[in-house]
Structure 1
């Protein structure tokens, strides 16, 4: 089994590379190894390696910067996946692509199902949705994994930000009216690997979009509270900062954040037996997030 991984230095890409290298021939590339916005470079790399699977973990994920970096966002989040998917089809590979809850409007309080209407509210979500559509159009044998609130030992994320702020502040104001499922990057990698293994075993799969995120649903305030409780218990902190919940309106950002990032993950469990990420369990490894 040969697997091409793009974005190998990102949160999920790093985990994928570590895990898959033990069970497959892996070509793991970061931006320096392969600029996915370079059409010819993508085609040449894929044609030379001849992978059975392409897993695209590369993305422009700077949500606020995306509002100004529109062309770059679309180049990385739409054009790159399109080129990879076309190359996958040409060599007979399966395309796996990571997407986001930002493809929805973030309204209401019900978890989003894969079949729900998409209506992204900013450039990041719009470019990621365009990438989903490009993958589906270019490679019939595709699996798109939407996820949310990613954190892990590698890269920058909310857990590391909270731990850093706790070292220098006694009080913190955390948004309390945005809800979603914090998702451990290692669990996202494992979900993608399980999908690959499912196909390798000759089992049939329904191509298309799947949701995968953490449970239980929480607000950013809830998530921060849990982080500090575990950090204090593991003696990373001598005391917890005092937290206060604030509304989104009190913390304006260039890009609109979804109030509802809850994803319904039943389809991936029914199809592949993959259960939601247990973010509370992942926090028990918090000493490694420093």
Structure 2
């Protein structure tokens, strides 16, 4: 079955990765073209994509989000509008048109006090405004009556947009040493692998074979601290990883609290027969082999 994806948030790093995939028909409007908080804008975008599809199945993959975690602490109204109200509007329109929806969420919906990977049904407990707004978006989508799935991911990086890998690559060229938090654990996820997984999921949904589980986790396999992640970036740059020094969360205060442990279990993804994402370190090496210039800036 042929498939067309409508990707709100098309100018972000995940949206651009989806649009760049070979063999996939993707309509990927940025926020300037599609305001997901506007019912009229969403209705027009969904109707236009259905018309463009010309009989093919349409699936919406919502990559639109307010992702500035620290800014969300002082931009609460804006964060709630984009991360909670927007998905509610999108889900309502998708429900009315019979269009399936895949909504992207985050590890930040969890409190970060676990010692084993979070399963999809673990109790949420966000510690930041960003996490609160993303959890509200999940609830809005799952309670909308739409044919919808939530996919949580974590520590996303890619060739487009701002992300941790690009920041580390930039700082490697300007500092002799760099202190990075070494007491927060997570799973880095390359946008290319995540995008491929989302297309596989959307294809299954379009074929009427969507997973029974409505919440899924899709991250790079394995876990690492931010400092360990930074050292791996230095290795890919051909730099001495020992230039990355460890520090604690208390040494790097931020407006928003980060989870100390935000590793997600990918069990439901695998149980659904979906292809597991690669180990994070293998993916990082491949990302640099394809996009070294972009990561170096």
Coarse TM-score class (shorter-chain normalised)? over 0.9
Q: Quote the RMSD (CA, aligned, Å).
A: 1.6
What CA deviation, in whole Å up to 9, does each residue of 1:205-257 have, x standing for no partner?
2151101111220001111111111210xxxx5x5562211110110000001
Matched, 1:245 2:230: no
- Residue 6 of structure 2 aligns to a residue in which SS? strand
Matched, 1:163 2:169: yes
Please state which structure has a larger fraction of its residues in strand.
1
Which residue of structure 2 lines up, in the alignment, with residue 12 of structure 1? 14
Q: Distance in 2 between matches of 1:11 and 1:47?
A: 25
- Residue 7 of structure 2 aligns to a residue in which SS? strand
Q: Distance in 2 between matches of 1:266 and 1:8?
A: 28
Contact kept, 8 Å, 2:79 with 2:130, in 1: the verdict is yes
Q: Distance in 2 between matches of 1:129 and 1:95?
A: 16
- Residue 3 of structure 1 aligns to a residue in which SS? strand
Which structure 1 residue ranges, 4+ long, deviate > 3 Å from structure 2? none
Alignment length, in residue pairs?
283
- Residue 146 of structure 1 aligns to a residue in which SS? strand
Q: Distance in 2 between matches of 1:60 and 1:208?
A: 23
Q: Distance in 2 between matches of 1:183 and 1:53?
A: 23
Which residue of structure 1 lines up, in the alignment, with residue 186 of structure 2? 180
2:159 to 153, 163, 178: 153
Matched, 1:47 2:47: yes
Which residue of structure 1 lines up, in the alignment, with residue 53 of structure 2? none
Q: Distance in 1 between matches of 2:89 and 2:153?
A: 22
Contact kept, 8 Å, 1:88 with 1:139, in 2: the verdict is no
Change (3 A) 1:91 1:140: closer
Runs of 5+ unmatched residues, structure 2: 51-56
Q: Give, in angstroms, the shift of residue 150 of structure 1.
A: 0.4
- Residue 77 of structure 1 aligns to a residue in which SS? helix
Runs of 5+ unmatched residues, structure 1: none
Q: Distance in 2 between matches of 1:29 and 1:122?
A: 28
Change (3 A) 1:98 1:209: same
1:65 to 56, 67, 71: 71
Contact kept, 8 Å, 1:166 with 1:241, in 2: the verdict is no
What CA deviation, in whole Å up to 9, does each residue of 1:14-59 have, x standing for no partner?
1111126x233x3210011111111221123223332621110010
Q: Give, in angstroms, the shift of residue 281 of structure 1.
A: 2.1
What TM-score do you get using the length of structure 2 for normalisation? 0.91
Q: Distance in 2 between matches of 1:220 and 1:3?
A: 33
Which residue of structure 1 lines up, in the alignment, with residue 37 of structure 2? 37
- Residue 36 of structure 2 aligns to a residue in which SS? coil
Q: Distance in 1 between matches of 2:199 and 2:169?
A: 30
Contact kept, 8 Å, 1:78 with 1:130, in 2: the verdict is yes
Contact kept, 8 Å, 2:8 with 2:62, in 1: the verdict is yes
Which residue of structure 1 lines up, in the alignment, with residue 54 of structure 2? none
Contact kept, 8 Å, 2:235 with 2:241, in 1: the verdict is yes
Q: Distance in 2 between matches of 1:207 and 1:57?
A: 20
Contact kept, 8 Å, 1:34 with 1:42, in 2: the verdict is yes
- Residue 116 of structure 2 aligns to a residue in which SS? coil
Change (3 A) 1:71 1:211: same
